[in-house]
Amino acid sequence: MTANLLEYDLEGLAAFCERLGEKRFRATQLFRWIHQKGAAQFDDMTDLAKSLREKLKVAACIQVPSVVSQHISSDGSIKWLFDVGGNDAVEAVFIPEADRGTLCISSQAGCIVGCRFCSTGHQGFSRHLTVAEIIGQLWFAEHFLRKHLGVTDRVISNVVMMGMGEPLLNYEALIISLRIMLSDHAYGLSRRRVTVSTSGVVPMIDQLGRDCPVALAVSLHASNDTLREQLVPLNRKYCIADLFQACHRYLEFAPRDFVTFEYCMLDGVNDSPEHAAELIDLVRKGGNETGWCKFNLIPFNPFPASGLTRSPQARILSFSKQLNDAGIVTTVRKTRGDDIDAACGQLAGDVKDITDVKKRMGRRTIMLKSDLEMAGLLKQGVVHG
């Protein structure tokens, strides 16, 4: 059986080289070719001995999930839809900003947690993504952008695990993927530039702290257990008090960091001054200062099956002010990629079946530098043409 080398972190690749009868240090060379230079063919790896290349051609491959469609938003965000087989599709979104290029990637096809306000949750769980499918999204986006923008420098500076799926429920693949993202021989991202977002799988938050304490975002969305149980069903298993304790423990592994709480603003559901006051109490509980966390208010991105609506802008702003006035750093997330359904919780919409996806999303496929220029990517200075 041929091994897909995108499955391996450096350690795994070294073990693979040993199995081939090669020295372990060859793995570093291979790893760099794959992740830093974006090589997908062994013949391109010109400084590897021909005999090794021949061996690799027989025993291995570098296989990224195929791209079904690509859409560029008027704000410069780009959404790719990847075919992961078995009629499943997952998405990644590139979000360019003046000082960074962020890639939002998926960890599962569908999601078992079933949050009420999330279209992925409504679609149900299909399966875990493999390491190659998770890292493949980054590999593809990074090398696609470099190639089409004609640059050799890194384009993606930040990764957020905020696409489809609950990353902490696909832990084994997540942790190997994180190691690849952080490796200096691969993407070289710093710990603070990689964010894992979770709906609150308490034991796995502890495990992540021990294994790889990257930036942590917790999807809170409610200020008390009764409400959170309705919005995030996982709260029945791990209540808010347990979740907050896990956050404090996490910061013992990453002392100068903070936890970001994501809070989706739902009209008439979780957006009153009383809810904000409850949040402030939660943050201060146990005599804590407020600096250990930040809040990111996400204007709800509606989809038909949810039956929910977005809080009015004025209410979002006064909610934000109430938290800020209490000393909690709070930001309101800009919604990006609205016109291509790339905003949070809209990923893949209700498109579980890829045949439908192909029909629905075949509207426009863009592969030209001029399109990226039009989308403002170059102008924003995130990438240099």
Contact 335, 343 (CB under 8 A): yes
Active site residue 344: yes
Residue 219 or residue 270: which is nearer to ligand SAH going by CB? 219
CB of 118 or CB of 145, closer to ligand SF4: 118
- Does 110 sit near ligand SAH (CB under 6 A)? no
Binding partner selected for residue 298 from ligand SAH, ligand SF4, none, CB under the kind-specific 5 to 8 Å limit: ligand SAH
> Is residue 262 near ligand SAH by the rule CB under 6 A?
yes
Active site residue 91: yes
Q: Which helix (H) or strand (E) holds 314?
A: helix 313-325
Look up residue 353 and give its two tokens.
């079946």
Q: Which residues contact 84 (CB under 8 A, 6 or more apart)?
A: 65, 90, 109, 129, 133
Q: Which of 60, 62, 162, 215 binds ligand SAH (CB under 6 A)?
A: 162
**Interaction of residue 114 with ligand SF4, rule CB under 6 A:** yes
- 8 Å CB contact between 166 and 153: no
DSSP-assigned states of every residue in 346-378:
-TTTT--SHHHHHHHHTT-----HHHHHHTTTT
Among 121, 209, 299, 337, binds ligand SF4 (CB under 6 A): 121
Give the one residue of 77, 123, 158, 219 binding ligand SAH; rule: CB under 6 A: 219
Cα 22 to Cα 48, 179, 369: the distances in Å are 12, 23, 41
Residue 226 CB partners (closer than 8 Å, separation 6+) = none
Contact 164/133 with Cβ under 8 angstroms? Answer: no
Window 179-218: contact mask with ligand SAH (x via CB under 6 A): ------------------xxx-------------------
Does 167 participate in binding ligand SF4 (rule CB under 6 A)? Answer: no
Q: Are 361 and 68 in contact (CB under 8 A)?
A: yes
The values of phi and psi at residue 309, to 5°, are -130, 160
From the list ligand SAH, ligand SF4, none, partner contacted by residue 162 (C-beta under 5 to 8 A by kind): ligand SAH
- Alpha-carbon distance 297 to 317, whole Å? 9
Select the residue interacting with ligand SF4 from 65, 96, 165, 349 (CB under 6 A). Answer: 165
Question: Per CB under 6 A, does 166 bind ligand SAH?
Answer: yes
State the maximum Cα–Cα separation within the chain, in Å, rounded to a whole number: 69
Site string for ligand SF4, 216-255 (x = CB under 6 A): ---x------------------------------------
Per CB under 6 A, residues contacting ligand SF4 are 111, 113-115, 118, 120-121, 165-166, 199, 219
Residues acting as catalytic residues:
91, 344
Per CB under 6 A, residues contacting ligand SAH are 117-118, 162, 166, 197-199, 219, 262, 264, 298, 300-301, 344-345
